[in-house]
Chains A and B, each alone.
Chain A
Amino acid sequence: MSPSSSRIRNIFEPLEPSYVADLWNSRFGISLSVFLGYLFFRKAQSVWAVNDNCLPRISYEAIGMRIMNLKDRPWKPTTSALQVFGRHATKNVIHLDSINAMIFLEGKTLVIESNCEPGYVVVFYRGEVLGCGLYSHGKLVSQIPKERRMASVVENGACEDQ
């Protein structure tokens, strides 16, 4: 199936796992085997991953986790997906110290030297993945979603349960 067909019809279309795994392998050096056991779907410009299972034929609003956006070049991984798959990355990773980690989590830009290729990187702190950053020309721009930033939680309490 052509990866572009779901752009016209706004529905979930199955994607070959190797299509997704190759992209992640090429950018982050993540072993292809990490993506075994998942099903992948494309809806408009987004790619979704779900634990491999028999999905009943009904109408879905979301299938598993949105893991990447194909809208722009290069494709962009979501912070949620990096927190699941990113720890297996062997390249294009940046490790932060505690002060820079907090600045990154506030959604700000850091001036930092790295030998990463320009583009999206996996940002680590104390061996744990914080999320997605955009690196180029000595700058790391935080891609942490607004509702998950350190300073913005007060305005975004809506996700808490009773």
Chain B
Amino acid sequence: MDPLQRYREIIPNFDQFQRVQSLPLPPTARINTLKMDEPRLLERLDEEGIGYKTFSWYPLGLKLDVESPGKLLENLLGYIHIQEELSMVPPLVLGPRPGERVLDLCASPGSKTCQISQMMENKGLIIANEPSLARVTPLRSNCERLGVMNVAITRYDGRNFPNVPFDRVLVDAPCSSEGRERKGPGVMARSNCKRSLDLQALQIDLLKNALRLARSGGVVVYSTCTYAPEENELVVESVLDRARLEKISIPGLKDCPGITDWNGVHLDDDLQLSSRYYPHLNNTGGFYVAKLVKN
């Protein structure tokens, strides 16, 4: 059976969702303001005859009309970074400011890390944690290509990251990646409820540790690229005794509220303050994002 069928009740316009889920994703990129400002970059693209369209909800996000965006000179020189549209949402929700200390607990390949760095204007400190040595390579490579000077990389198990206080923590958790099916078909073949429950234990431990590390009043953003409530709302619900949810609002980007009923069980009503992003609403992948403020 199609593993997505179990979401028929929670995803609006389910048939349209299924149709869009099987279409390839349009290439998108973020303008890297650490190296290039927006007007100059757009001028370059115009000069070179490269087609683009700015996102309606984020002026630094571009839909590109090219076959191999990774080959563009602008990408090689680090003026843009190829990044899926919705992957630019969690850093905006995190809202880091120059001079703060931020932890990106599951950082590789570093697209969000580098976006956080540009939001902080290369000031302050980001600790980008990535336990896998193999995955540190693309993380480092992206940070260096994009001219990031305020990131230090660590390799702790995120569940046991040492006790250091942070203003903000991003938990872009390992997940079943169902929302990435449009990027690389095959994800769904491995996806099922059992796998989601296995991942849930890890996700809860990561989120709990993130909340331990955040200072009181600090912001923790939890995100995944999956639709499974076991990996989303049910993870966030487990920490609502130590943090409160805040509503996410990104004008121009359509979302659905987090669900509060699943498999006959009623969940915490505050979960509707978190956001679900579906492929057929904005022609993107899929994402779940929750913004928590530590008590």
Contact = CB atoms under 8 A, between A and B. Distances in A.
Nearest to A84: B147
In which size bucket is the chain A interface? 35 or more
Q: Which of B71, B76, B127, B142 has the most CB of A within 10 A?
A: B76
B77 A128 contact: yes
Interface in A27-60: 38, 49-51, 53-56, 58-60
Interface residues of B, number: 50
A15 B211 CA distance: 35
A61 B152 CA distance: 8
B84 A161 contact: yes
Contact of B136 (A55, A59, A61): A61
A63 B140 CA distance: 10
B150 A51 contact: yes
B185 interface: no
B237 to A, nearest CB: 25
A153 interface: yes
13 contacts: A51-B123, A58-B154, A61-B136, A62-B153, A64-B149, A64-B150, A78-B144, A80-B144, A105-B76, A150-B71, A153-B75, A161-B111, A162-B285
A1 interface: no
A56 B164 contact: yes
A155 to B, nearest CB: 11
A62 B126 CA distance: 12
A50 B76 contact: no
B122 interface: yes
Interface of B: 35, 68, 70-71, 73, 75-78, 81-84, 87, 101, 109-112, 122-125, 127, 130, 136, 138, 140-145, 147-156, 162, 164, 177, 180, 183, 225, 285
A16 interface: no
B149 A84 contact: yes
Contacts of B127: 56, 58
A8 interface: no
Nearest to A157: B70
A70 interface: no
Contacts of A56: 127, 162, 164
Interface string A134-162: 00000000000001111001100111111
Contacts of B124: 51, 53
Nearest to B72: A153
B152 A63 contact: yes
